[in-house]
Structure 1
Amino acid sequence: MTLWKWMRRADIDDGTKPGKTSQEPTELREARRRIKLPEQANVVLRRATAYLSQANLPGKGSTRS
């Protein structure tokens, strides 16, 4: 059974049979990790923009006269 699984995996990796190659899960994890960082930066920037825009409104949390 183990030998059969190895042979099947080799055929898929070679492109002889359809299926996900053994490299695809690793590539997907790396791609998700690369995408996650800019998404987190966008969230931080949106929050900072909202905070700073509230601080600049007259009479709402601003210490300026």
Structure 2
Amino acid sequence: MSVQRRKYDPDFKRNAVRLTEDPDRSVQEVATNLGISKDLLYKWRRELRLKEGLAFPGHGKEALTEQEKRIKELEKKLKDAEMERDILKKAVAIFSKAPK
């Protein structure tokens, strides 16, 4: 029997993290009341703290800033250019060999 993986929307995650910020409640208490593990709640807190508005993009896609998107795009272009260069080098080596 397979276990169904539960999915939580970004608003639920943000509200859960907001509940842990109340000094009268412990993380364990909030997690128990919401029916989730405290480790998952700590993970959400860390992600929200590190990425702020870009946290919890959904569908397994990483949220990137405009600068990070630009860097990824340039890295892809560089990789393609290097691959083309290597192919051309091999072609030149093949065609420059003297026929026997």
TM-score (normalizing by structure 2): 0.38
- Moved >3 Å (runs of 4+): 21-24
Q: How many residues align?
A: 51
- Structure 2 gap segments, 5+ residues each: 1-10, 19-47, 55-62
1:48 to 88, 92, 95: 88
Specify the alignment match of 2:14 in structure 1.
5
SS in 1 for 2:71: helix
Per chain length, whose mean CA-contact separation is higher, i.e. which structure has more relative contact order (CA < 8 Å, sep 6+)? Answer: 2
C-alpha deviations, 1:6-65, integer Å up to 9, x for none?
9x6xxxxxxxx72214366123222100111111101001100100110000127xxxxx
TM-score (normalizing by structure 1): 0.54
Tell me, in whole angstroms, the C-alpha distance in 2 between the residues paired with 1:21 and 1:50.
48
Specify the alignment match of 2:64 in structure 1.
25
Tell me, in whole angstroms, the C-alpha distance in 1 between the residues paired with 2:70 and 2:52.
15
Specify the alignment match of 2:99 in structure 1.
59
Aligned amino acid, residue 14 of structure 2: K
- Structure 1 gap segments, 5+ residues each: 9-16, 61-65
Residues 30 and 22 of structure 1: CA distance in aligned 2, closer, same or farther (over 3 Å): farther
Question: What is the RMSD of the two structures over their aligned residues, measured on CA atoms?
Answer: 3.1
Tell me, in whole angstroms, the C-alpha distance in 1 between the residues paired with 2:99 and 2:72.
43
